[in-house]
Structure 1
Amino acid sequence: MTHASPSVRATGRRPATADASGRARGARAPRSRHRSPLLFCAPFVVLFAAMYVAPILYAAYSSFFTVRRSGLGLTAPTEVFAPLDNYARAVQDGAFTASLGRVALFGLVQVPLMLGLALALALLIDSKSARGRGFFRLTSFVPYAVPGVSAALVWSFMYSSTSSPLNRLLEPLSVTIPFFDEDLVLLSVANIVTWSWAGYNMIIIYAALQSIPAEVLEAARLDGASALRIAWSIKIPSVRGALVLTTVFSIIGSAQLFNEPAVLQPVSGGSISSTFTPLMSAQSAVAAGNYPYAAAQSVLLAAAVGVVSLIFFKLTHRGDRA
């Protein structure tokens, strides 16, 4: 019969045995345990750095150079290090600043309307008295499955001054909607974006509604609260996080507006210029071979979006701290 040593009886554990190399086997476990998560995260970190961080850093680096052409333009252009020249030019470029203002106006009008529509659809589909909820949930989400370019092509046919079926329906009333008029073209683009993305945002809000405990809703009904009162006092406050998330996504999406106006440009009759949005303006600089200037415009746009998103987060979290 063997007897355990006093240290084993006191601690209840046996000392780690040493292998041939003289290191304790038990000391290897913590290292491997900490190393495993890093190995699983490594592919994401590498792809994120290569596809996201590296292009941003390269764009910022390229924006510090200025393209110079000498003589009559017969020689190849050269790039000269001038850190602030491109940024000063972008700030003084009327077409670029106008595109920033146009996108800002687009976001101020389109984002609240789209999210309001998405919230209303989510509340209607979540209502227990609603019929055909699966059908309406599917039909609301289907436009998001249509690629943005394809959706813009379909709507360009709907907006066409010669073949618009909408205007043909309004002919008996002697009404014609100039979809590409300078005063309406931004709303025409906003309509396409709303049609494409309202269903996507509705799904996010609807998923947040499903997390509300059924006991809370049942208690409100027993207290005599109407469906409108439950929606206003319980459901909408409960999906506040989803609304903040979709708003931030929509702000970023508004800044990246490109596909819809680019597709509509050939049939717009000149109301959509090549610098209609900041990304279109940057693309025009790329087409002209001025990559550093396009990079500077992109950096300014990214900085503006970051500032707006930060301000929005501060405003939405101020109520939480209060």
Structure 2
Amino acid sequence: MTQTLAPKAGPRRADTPHAGAPARLSRTGAKGFLFTVPFFAGFLLVFVIPFGYALVESLYTKRLSGAGLGGAVRSFAGFDNYTRGLQDTQFWSAVGRVAVFALVQIPVMLGLSLLAALLLDMAVKRSAKVFRLGLLIPYMIPAIVATLVWLYLYSPQLGPVTKAAAALGADVDMFSPDLLWFSIGNLLTWAGLGYNMLIIYGALRSVPRELFEAARLDGAGEIRIAWSVKIPYVRSSLVLTGMLAIIHMLQIFAEPLVFRVTSPETVTASFTPIMMIYNLAFTQSNYHYAAALSVILAVLVGATSAVFYRLTNRGTP
């Protein structure tokens, strides 16, 4: 009797169950990349292409031909506009004016945002939602609208600020050269406090609650917990908000532009770097030199942000 032997099964490959894994990972990666396409498309259209266009235009200039009778001729100027911009005392005065203002306004705004986030973290959950929304509302208001509202509040004839100061026996003019930067800083702090608070508060909510309980068992009070536990954990968020504030501050435009309507003798056309660039491009039609100043300002903003991040991000958890 002949016995039929079944063929021996070959050795089972260890990777057989995962044979389709690379394909699945590839499809997952492709799907994930599709979610980033809108961001990169917007970044390309809003930042990269305009910057490249400004870079090209900054290498040209318009010169009069035929003793001015032949009109303006566009000609290649190389780096002449950049040489002129680096030596332009009016432009660098505007940069210095904004830089000094930023050194005062940014720490004040971030300090108040941190304080608001710490207080919200200590509040009852339902109360925290109400106050969080209330602090965030000013950020939702467009800058021009917010500036117009504060112009009314500062108005010497109609605004309550001047009347309240007069009731206390003080003569206050919020549009005077001595108080103008304070008026703008108060507006920027009011508008930006809620946004920065939300970033810091989100970081605070991710801190393990067990750390607070352990600190309380060791006898630490709420102030000690905030200083030694909470603030170190949100340091990276403070670095982020600080960097965003620097970028915004060096490009401040809408608020001083509206203030110029009420105080043109103080808020000049070159009060801030962006205002000077705007005036050159759209009032004097000097597009090529304005493009060169735009590139210089962009490089300055990027370099300042990089240095700030490098100095403040050391040892950030």
Residues 180 and 269 in structure 1, CA contact (< 8 A), matched pair in contact too: no
- Aligned counterparts of 1:65 and 1:102: Cα–Cα separation in 2: 29
Structure-2 change in CA distance of 1:232 and 1:130 (3 Å): farther
Counterpart amino acid of residue 48 in structure 1 = F
Give the equivalent residue in structure 2 for 1:171. 166
Asked if 1:297 is matched to 2:293, the reply is yes
Give the equivalent residue in structure 2 for 1:19. none
Give the equivalent residue in structure 2 for 1:312. 308
Aligned ranges 1:1-322 → 2 under 5 Å: 8-11=10-13, 29=23, 33=27, 35-70=30-65, 73=68, 75-128=70-123, 132-287=127-282, 288-319=284-315
- Aligned counterparts of 1:140 and 1:40: Cα–Cα separation in 2: 31
Shift of 1:73: 4.5
Shift of 1:95: 2.1
Structure-2 change in CA distance of 1:161 and 1:212 (3 Å): same
Shift of 1:43: 4.3
Specify every segment of 5 or more residues in structure 1 that has no aligned partner in the other structure, as ranges. 15-24
TM-score with structure 2 length normalisation? 0.88
Shift of 1:28: 10
Secondary structure, counterpart of 2:314 in structure 1: helix
- Aligned counterparts of 1:295 and 1:123: Cα–Cα separation in 2: 43
TM-score with structure 1 length normalisation? 0.87
Counterpart amino acid of residue 118 in structure 2 = L
Structure-2 change in CA distance of 1:31 and 1:171 (3 Å): closer
Counterpart amino acid of residue 259 in structure 2 = L
- Aligned counterparts of 1:137 and 1:41: Cα–Cα separation in 2: 30
Counterpart amino acid of residue 303 in structure 2 = V
CA-atom RMSD, angstroms? 2.8
Counterpart amino acid of residue 217 in structure 1 = F
Residues 155 and 162 in structure 2, CA contact (< 8 A), matched pair in contact too: no
- Aligned counterparts of 1:197 and 1:76: Cα–Cα separation in 2: 47
Structure-2 change in CA distance of 1:228 and 1:31 (3 Å): closer
Shift of 1:113: 0.4
Structure-2 change in CA distance of 1:3 and 1:39 (3 Å): farther
Shift of 1:87: 1.3
Aligned residue pairs total 310
Counterpart amino acid of residue 225 in structure 1 = A
Specify every segment of 5 or more residues in structure 2 that has no aligned partner in the other structure, as ranges. none
Answer with 94-103 or 310-319: which moved more. Answer: 310-319
Structure-2 change in CA distance of 1:226 and 1:39 (3 Å): closer
- Aligned counterparts of 2:175 and 2:60: Cα–Cα separation in 1: 38
Answer with 260-269 or 113-122: which moved more. Answer: 260-269
Q: Percent identity?
A: 43
- Aligned counterparts of 1:92 and 1:233: Cα–Cα separation in 2: 47
- Aligned counterparts of 2:87 and 2:253: Cα–Cα separation in 1: 22
Structure-2 change in CA distance of 1:45 and 1:73 (3 Å): same
Counterpart amino acid of residue 94 in structure 2 = S
Shift of 1:45: 3.2
- Aligned counterparts of 2:45 and 2:31: Cα–Cα separation in 1: 22
Shift of 1:83: 2.1
